[in-house]
Amino acid sequence: MKQLRHISLSILLFFLLRDYKLVEGATFNFVNNCGGPVWPGILSNAGSAKLETTGFQLPPGGSRTIVAPTGWSGRFWGRTGCSFDSSGRGSCSTGDCGSNQVECNGAGANPPATLAEFTLASGPSTQDFYDVSLVDGYNLPIMVQPSGSCMATGCTVDLNQKCPAELRVSNGDACKSACEAFNKPEYCCSGAYGNPNTCKPTMYSQLFKSACPRSYSYAYDDPTSTFTCTGGANYIVTFCPGSTSPSSSQKSARDSSTSSTSTPQFSGGITSSGPGNNNDDSNTSNNNGVMLQDNSWLASLATGDSASAPTKRPKYPLLLAFSFSLVLLL
């Protein structure tokens, strides 16, 4: 009888550890292909764990890995034109978080800034959600590449070269959203325009969408802008993917642990497979990505509000299985 209990316990632990590996979170590998340094910023959504850093320097050709726990949600972006003194205090010309430090310490990016947004799965049967958003404007090309067969997304073209004069910041290093530039409800999807039935694409959001078909162009963008991947995927977040890389000559008082890395190419802003720039409301899906219908949730994801995210499953299977294992030993 005792031997049978040990066999049962061994089998239970095998399946327990196998499932636990599937929900251990995600590894984000940040890669800088730009001609100058980039200072990634990190903001965890309300209720999500704070990661090991909220901001760091990434030199040209460098990379750094950050681990996020199961169920984490938040956003990443790149800051440019940064200058920090010997005490680590300073600011950035684009994407600045207002902390006056390399670390953003819980503050988000000042628009305009290109955002990479994530909501990680809470269990083996749930999914990651991810997108690249231009809702807050654009400052850098960004590509998000999941592991496995899940779809890459991003905005890989230099929108600063295509930015209308009325959206362009004074130094030409970033491109505002129409909401930021004009502060009108029809551009901000606010007031009477605060729902997907009344807030429609504008010529400005369509300009962003045509250049970057997979990116989120305004608050109620079409469902093809948000992608899903089975929980357990890891991600490469690349600044300036491709051959054209903005250059800069900023300085920083803080160095990060980095290494050289190569990045797969993602040309033309979109690959030939998967959802592109269509406004089809059909509810099709496959194993690599899914076209979502809930535009109200997509809008909350685009603005970093995790309160409307799909309900997460309990995070306690390990504790329950361990308790059951103890019962078997008694």
- The domains located in the chain, with CATH, are 27-315 (2.60.110.10)
CB atoms within 10 A of CB 270: 21
Identify whether the C-beta of residue 217 lies closer than 8 Å to the C-beta of residue 297. no
Apex 223 CA angle, 267 and 45, nearest 5 = 90
Q: Average the pLDDT over each of 38-42, 207-211, 221-225, 277-281 and give the range with the smallest value.
A: 277-281
Q: Select from 98, 129, 130, 99 the least CA-distant residue to 111.
A: 98
- Torsion, CA 258, CA 62, CA 120, CA 24, rounded to 10: -30
CB atoms within 10 A of CB 225: 27
Q: How confident is the model at residue 170 (pLDDT cuts 50, 70, 90)?
A: confident
What SS3 string covers 105-170? CCCCCCCCCCEEEEECCCCCCCEEEEEEECCCCECCCEEEEECCCCCCEEECCCHHHCCCCCCECC
Quick one: pLDDT at residue 232? Answer: 83
What amino acid is encoded at 80 in this protein? Answer: T
For residue 118, list its beta bridge partners: 74, 130
Bridge pairing between strands 235-239 and 26-32 = parallel
pLDDT exceeds 60 at position 271: no
pLDDT exceeds 60 at position 324: no
SS3 at position 299: helix
pTM of the model: 0.72
- Length of the chain, in residues: 330
Q: Select from 233, 218, 245 the least CA-distant residue to 156.
A: 245
SS3 at position 4: helix
Q: How confident is the model at residue 86 (pLDDT cuts 50, 70, 90)?
A: confident
Distance, in Å, from the CA atom of 84 to the CA atom of 77, rounded to the nearest integer, reads 18
DSSP H helical ranges for 162-230: 178-182, 185-188, 203-211
Q: How far apart are the first and last CA of the chain?
A: 11
Q: What are the strands, taking DSSP E only, across 204-276? A: 227-230, 235-239
SS3 at position 230: strand
Report residue 78: phi and psi, to 5°: -110, 135
Q: How confident is the model at residue 20 (pLDDT cuts 50, 70, 90)?
A: very low
Distance, in Å, from the CA atom of 266 to the CA atom of 242, rounded to the nearest integer, reads 7
Quick one: pLDDT at residue 278? Answer: 35
Identify whether the C-beta of residue 191 lies closer than 8 Å to the C-beta of residue 203. no
Quick one: pLDDT at residue 130? Answer: 97
SS3 at position 68: strand
Average pLDDT over residues 6-13: 49
